[in-house]
Chains A and B, each alone.
Chain A
């Protein structure tokens, strides 16, 4: 079985999140390996998601985080 462009596109978000079954992951990858149009768009989406994820996670962790939180539990 092979996926066409539309069937591949419908699976794009789940594929990028690795939320498809192994078989479906392989089917999407097969299509992307052979279709420049879809792979260009997938690559773009992947970069957007990575950029957003990195930006939102770019928070420096205070070195005393654990100590401060544990202290706030009180001395009970």
Chain B
């Protein structure tokens, strides 16, 4: 709850100090927000909303700690607040996402490893296709994978941002990649980029 009164704390924080901390984080936050929200316009709205919220909460930020993680945490909270009612549905089966799925598929359809097999499978994949693949993942896997892919933050920084233990980031991320490979292959099949699996 945000307390409003004649002496609200955010009114006295140093705005230029806040702007100095925010400025270098904005490009990365924008990239992340676009992937999270789905398009540029929604991404910009999200970054602006999060910036205002962060400014008003800046008195809670502990100087010397990780501003980037703090800001991205606010941004994610903001995102989920506005998406509360949206049904989060995943279609990729969690139980049996195999290891190295794309590698095994590449072997199965006989792609030569000396050429660039990843280019054959994912060469036509654009940001929309990868986003579509991410949407098929359960929410906690999707957010962890998106955060790590877009920001390239360490497991520790992702853990700080999402407020979960490092071990949770590690297992979610590894799992998310396995699921994402299945999901990317499904889409590549649907779009005819790769030969569909014959039914047994």
A74 CA / B18 CA spacing, docked (Å): 13
Q: Given A44-B106, A44-B113, A69-B47: A56 and B35 within 8 A (CB)?
A: yes
A70 CA / B19 CA spacing, docked (Å): 7
Interface pair B30/A59, CB less than 8 Å apart: yes
Interface size bracket, B side: 35 or more
Interface pair A47/B116, CB less than 8 Å apart: yes
Which among B84-92, B122-130, B188-196 touches the partner chain?
B122-130
A72 CA / B109 CA spacing, docked (Å): 52
Q: Is A41 an interface residue (CB 8 A)?
A: yes
Q: Is A33 an interface residue (CB 8 A)?
A: no
Interface pair B27/A65, CB less than 8 Å apart: yes
For A35-58 the 0/1 string (1 means CB < 8 A from B) is 000001100110111011101111
**Dominant SS at the B interface?**
helix
Residues of chain B lying within 8 A (CB to CB) of residue A52: 122, 125, 130, 149, 180, 184
Selected from B31, B99, B125, the residue in CB contact (under 8 A) with A59 is B31
Interface pair B170/A53, CB less than 8 Å apart: no
Interface pair B118/A44, CB less than 8 Å apart: yes
For B132-158 the 0/1 string (1 means CB < 8 A from A) is 000000000000001001101011000
A76 CA / B15 CA spacing, docked (Å): 9
Residues of chain B lying within 8 A (CB to CB) of residue A45: 100, 103
A47 CA / B120 CA spacing, docked (Å): 12
Q: Is A62 an interface residue (CB 8 A)?
A: yes
Interface pair A44/B102, CB less than 8 Å apart: yes
A56 CA / B103 CA spacing, docked (Å): 21
Q: What are 17 of the A-B contact pairs (CB < 8 Å)?
A: A13-B177, A44-B106, A47-B116, A48-B102, A48-B122, A55-B127, A55-B130, A56-B127, A56-B150, A59-B31, A62-B30, A65-B26, A69-B22, A69-B48, A73-B15, A73-B51, A73-B55
